[in-house]
């Protein structure tokens, strides 16, 4: 059995989370984005959290979230999102398979988490989230990806509409990568 160590949970710290479908070629998250958004709303109603930044890609999503004062239980939020979305797909008649344990085999069992250390780390992760659709060659301009919190940040005046430029950035530039 592989060991997996979670980082020390820090109450009140924002967390960067990456959650991935088991089948990396699947497009369930973007094909059923309305169901995923509803699932996020339901999860936030049951276990509140604030979405600092979010991008939904076909097979994974990146979430930068803040929890309530004294709360460091981001795992419950991810469990609610995974379970809720799986049930919505199943109820919509989307074929889902069960693993040897009898569980639906939609998601990877684990997820990546990183507690944000400081303001520079926060900004670096927000930029990474916003740039991710370009990194994965889904669009050439960040503003063309519809499933990103960048649009909210532009509406709020936090970022210019052309943030990230109009042309793709060459991969060798290192932009869109975390250190």
Which of 173, 165, 171 is closest to 144 using CA atoms? 165
- Determine which one of 15, 128, 131, 147 is catalytic: 147
Neighbours of 51 (CB within 10 A): 13
Which of 56, 124, 127, 54 is closest to 85 using CA atoms? 56
Which residue shows structure tokens 């400081």? 118
Residue pair 141/169 in contact by the 8 Å Cβ criterion = no
131 flagged as catalytic: no
Residues with catalytic annotation?
A: 147
């Amino acid at each position: 059995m592989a060991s997996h160590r979670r980082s020390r949970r820090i109450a009140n710290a924002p967390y960067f989370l990456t959650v991935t479908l088991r089948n990396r070629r699947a497009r369930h998250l973007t094909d059923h984005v309305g169901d995923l958004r509803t699932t996020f709303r339901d999860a936030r109603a049951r276990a509140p959290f604030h979405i600092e930044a979010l991008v939904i890609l076909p097979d994974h999503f990146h979430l930068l979230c803040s929890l309530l004062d004294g709360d460091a239980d981001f795992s419950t939020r991810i469990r609610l999102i995974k379970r809720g979305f799986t049930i919505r797909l199943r109820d919509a008649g989307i074929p889902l398979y069960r693993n040897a344990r009898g569980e639906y085999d939609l998601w990877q069992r684990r997820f990546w988490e990183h507690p944000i250390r400081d303001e520079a780390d926060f900004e670096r992760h927000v930029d990474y989230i916003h740039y991710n659709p370009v990194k994965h060659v889904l669009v050439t301009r960040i503003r063309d990806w519809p499933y990103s919190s960048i649009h909210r940040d532009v509406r709020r005046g936090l970022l210019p509409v052309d943030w990230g430029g109009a042309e793709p950035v060459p991969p060798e530039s290192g932009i869109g990568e975390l250190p």
